[in-house]
Amino acid sequence: MTYAITQTCCNDATCIAVCPVNCIHPTPDEPDFGRTEMLYIDPRSCIDCGACADACPVDAIFPADALAPGQQEYAAVNAAYYEQRGPRPEPVAGPTFHPWGQPSFPRSLPSDFAPIRVAVVGTGPAGMYAAEDLLLHTNAEVTLIDRLPVAGGLVRYGVAPDHPATKRIGDTFARFHTHPRVRMYLGVDVGTDVTAEELAAHHDAVVYAVGAAADRRLGVPGEDRPNSLSATAFVAWYNAHPEVAPDAVDLSGTERVVVVGTGNVALDVARILVTDPEALAATDIADHALAALRASSVREVVLLARRGPEDASCTAPELLALGKLPGVRLVVDAHDPRTWAAVDSAAPHEKAALLRGADREHVDWSAPPGPERRIVFRFHSAPEEILDGAVRVTGPEPGTSTEIPAGRVLRAVGYRGMPVAGLPFDEATGTVPHENGRVAGRPGTYVVGWIKRGPSGGIGANRTCAAETVGTLLADAVDGTLPPPAGSARAFDRLARGRAGTVVDARGLAAIERAELARGGAAGRPRVKLGTVPELVAAARGRRRLTR
């Protein structure tokens, strides 16, 4: 028997570190690491020890002969990765072991390395991987800062509610919230409550992990119409983000929604819109979103792609899962012969091949959606204009257009970073200019995550990104180039609490956790999120008063 990695793989390589026979690839020192959609177990080398399954932070690894019905393809998916790497000699006896790379000691520090105080701005995956690295490999003191009164970042507000296994990575990060060398300041906005200069003056180094909070624009007429909304806002809405109002999304009277894009976020949005609301009731989806979806008349979601199925930007595991939604039919609009040429000619391991099981249909857009729930892929169609109640897209012939009636258009063409107060910013890339994480012209200032590399890569990609940034930071500390802080930790505590008003610390965060779980228990759900800043602050107060 062998183990297999499945859909929810987060690519953070925790499993690789514990494998005794080096049978999980690509490893962080291999060229393909970060370029593949997931990690893969070699069935010819696996010795069935189960160490990887125990270590996986998102419960993505299972015995191949015990895979759930919707996951059984992953035994073949794992094996196919090694078949594509080229032929290997047949084993003489026992498993085929992979050679080990040269040992590496990236965190080798001088014995007299003095403790440093590092602020990490942002408590999403990028920030927490950086904090974890510092706490596990150095004697640094870490100040965790977030502008919201609750931690989690995209784990809390970006992961779809029907992906609970992916959200479990938050439990890994949460163990550092109460670390004895961690101070937590939630509800503190750097740039408003405290300046970047003041933050730097109280720390040896500052790491910005602020993500990419904005959305990319389509650049077509009508994208600011009331019926047009960014997928960024829609995802925040169904995840109870306190900065998106419960009534920000109106699905009433809407039978068809057009989603521009075919990335994982686009697939998340489509899936949430057509999934049976009673199935979503077993998740932590926002109460207001669940109520809206229960009352919704949406039966069809159209995923619009400029290019063909071979270039769809979603991952193969997400596309594979989309075809297994209970009660939802997957359709590919056959308006362009290039679409099926790409699907029919795709090799078995290629993404386009996953659409062979979808229905092929020349969709009549003049007719309203039928009674069934379905997701329709329309490839080779770029949006030309968003109209009131429709979207005009490029037609099957050059110079022609097709109008697709839709009560709502969601733009899912990517995230974009926003300028960070006090730091340089590259408008073209939406990132902060840096060298291996070191901000140009700002000694002691670093970036990690999407604000560093752009909005690409999933949760696990932030581990290697953080390792590079922390390595640069520590090299600067050893070289003595970090500017010494003028203020103490106590002084920063007074400054932050005096400026921000209400500050949530680790005990307050634990109180929020208890309150949300209690609300969920009362409603027969795993968790009911608090969706406004006042609610979060009130829950954080609990039995103790937060200082002003």
Domains along the chain with CATH numbers:
3-84 (3.30.70.20), 117-213+417-541 (3.40.50.720), 223-413 (3.50.50.60)
Rounded Cα distance, 457 and 37, in Å: 9
Q: What is the pTM of this model?
A: 0.93
Rounded Cα distance, 1 and 90, in Å: 18
Rounded Cα distance, 227 and 408, in Å: 5
Tokens 């609990």 sit on residue: 542
| Residue 92 pLDDT > 80 | no
CA angle 255, 261, 265 (to 5 degrees): 85
- The stretch 62-70 carries a mean pLDDT of 93
Confidence of residue 348 (pLDDT cuts 50, 70, 90): confident
How far, CA to CA in Å, does 253 sit from each of 227, 268, 295?
A: 12, 22, 10
How does pLDDT run across 356-387, given as a tens digit for each residue?
999 999 999 999 999 999 999 999 999 999 99
| Residue 460 pLDDT > 60 | yes
| Residue 95 pLDDT > 70 | no
Give the CA radius of gyration of the chain.
24
The DSSP symbol for 72 reads T
How far, CA to CA in Å, does 411 sit from each of 230, 353, 415?
A: 5, 26, 10
β-strand partners of 445? 206
**3-state DSSP of 55-116:** HCCCCCEEEHHHCCHHHCHHHHHHHHHHHHCCCCCCCCCCCCCCCCCCCCCCCCCCCCCCCC
Rounded Cα distance, 331 and 105, in Å: 51
**Cis omega before residue 26 (within 30°)?**
yes
Q: Which of 189, 171, 184, 242 is nearest to 538 (CA)?
A: 242
- What's the farthest any 2 CA atoms get from each other in the chain? 74
Rounded Cα distance, 495 and 100, in Å: 50
* DSSP run (H or E) holding 48: none
The rounded percent of the chain whose pLDDT value lies above 90 is 87
* DSSP run (H or E) holding 537: helix 533-541
Q: Which of 107, 120, 111, 95 is nearest to 181 (CA)?
A: 120
Phi, psi of 515 (to 5 degrees): -65, -45
How far, CA to CA in Å, does 256 sit from each of 110, 203, 259, 263?
A: 62, 52, 10, 19
**DSSP characters over 376-445:** EEE-S--EEEEETTEEEEE-SSTT-EEEEE-SEEEE-S-EE----TTS--BTTTTB--EETTEETT-TTE
Rounded Cα distance, 517 and 522, in Å: 9
- Does residue 445 contact residue 423 with C-beta atoms inside 8 Å? yes
Confidence of residue 544 (pLDDT cuts 50, 70, 90): very low
Phi, psi of 480 (to 5 degrees): 75, 25
Rounded Cα distance, 346 and 21, in Å: 33
The backbone region for 495, taken as left when phi is positive above 0, alpha when psi lies in -120 to 50, beta otherwise, is alpha
Q: What are 383's two structure tokens?
A: 């949006």
Rounded Cα distance, 217 and 215, in Å: 6
Q: What is the pLDDT of residue 89?
A: 54
Rounded Cα distance, 516 and 152, in Å: 14
Q: What is the pLDDT of residue 85?
A: 76
- The stretch 448-475 carries a mean pLDDT of 95
139, amino acid identity:
N
Q: What are 195's two structure tokens?
A: 């300046």
Rounded Cα distance, 2 and 75, in Å: 9
Q: Which of 211, 186, 205 is nearest to 470 (CA)?
A: 205
What is the number of alpha carbons within 13 Å of residue 477 lying toward its C-beta? 28
- Torsion angle of the four alpha carbons 265, 269, 275, 276, in this order, in degrees rounded to the nearest 10: 130
Rounded Cα distance, 161 and 283, in Å: 6
Q: Which of 131, 117, 109 is nearest to 484 (CA)?
A: 117
Q: What number of other Cβ atoms are within 10 A of residue 414's Cβ?
A: 21
Tokens 């509610």 sit on residue: 161
| Residue 548 pLDDT > 50 | no
Rounded Cα distance, 529 and 284, in Å: 7
Strand, helix or coil for residue 452: helix
| Residue 134 pLDDT > 80 | yes
Q: What is the pLDDT of residue 133?
A: 97
Strand, helix or coil for residue 159: coil
| Residue 527 pLDDT > 90 | yes
| Residue 545 pLDDT > 60 | no
- The stretch 188-211 carries a mean pLDDT of 97
How does pLDDT run across 146-168, given as a tens digit for each residue?
999 999 999 999 999 999 999 99
138, amino acid identity:
T
The rounded percent of the chain whose pLDDT value lies above 70 is 97
Rounded Cα distance, 218 and 208, in Å: 28
- The stretch 138-150 carries a mean pLDDT of 97
- Does residue 509 contact residue 151 with C-beta atoms inside 8 Å? yes
Q: What number of other Cβ atoms are within 10 A of residue 487's Cβ?
A: 16
| Residue 88 pLDDT > 80 | no
In terms of Cβ atoms closer than 10 Å to its own Cβ (0-12, 13-18, 19+), residue 396 is middle
Q: What are 148's two structure tokens?
A: 């919201």
Confidence of residue 8 (pLDDT cuts 50, 70, 90): very high
Q: Which of 40-44, 84-88, 292-296, 470-474 has the lowest mean pLDDT?
A: 84-88
Q: Alpha helices of 169-296 — where are they, by DSSP H?
A: 169-174, 196-201, 231-238, 264-274, 277-280, 287-295
- The stretch 121-134 carries a mean pLDDT of 98
